[in-house]
Amino acid sequence: MDMTFSCIIRSTDAAIFSGRAKSVTLPTVSGEVQVLSAHADAFIALIAGTVVVEAEDGSKQSFALRGGVFRMKDDVATLVA
């Protein structure tokens, strides 16, 4: 079973990350939230902080953001900051 999902991180004018991910850790008003494959559909408001993407190959990439929104739908994660 594939334990990855499609992940797209965008600023208002450019794609920052696009690929398969094992997990995404997000800064939210309720604290850090980690999203994995097969996560329930969700729409999450983000606060300033760091997003960490664990890519399909196990490498981790971090991205600073000032806020934004995250959507998980049908195993596709989209973050717009």
**What would the mean pLDDT of 6-24 be, rounded to a whole number?**
95
> Is pTM beyond 0.95 here?
no
Q: What is the CATH number of the domain that holds 20?
A: 2.60.15.10
12 pLDDT exceeds 90? no
- What range does the domain containing 53 cover? 5-80
Q: Mean pLDDT in the chain?
A: 95
Distances (CA, A) of 71 to 53, 58, 79, 81: 15, 22, 6, 12
pLDDT tens-digit series, residues 19-52: 999 999 999 999 999 999 999 999 999 999 999 9
**What would the mean pLDDT of 44-66 be, rounded to a whole number?**
97
Which residue's entry shows tokens 């994660």? 77
Token output for 11: 């600023």
pLDDT for 2 = 81
Distances (CA, A) of 64 to 32, 39, 40, 49: 14, 23, 25, 6
Q: How many domains does the chain have?
A: 1
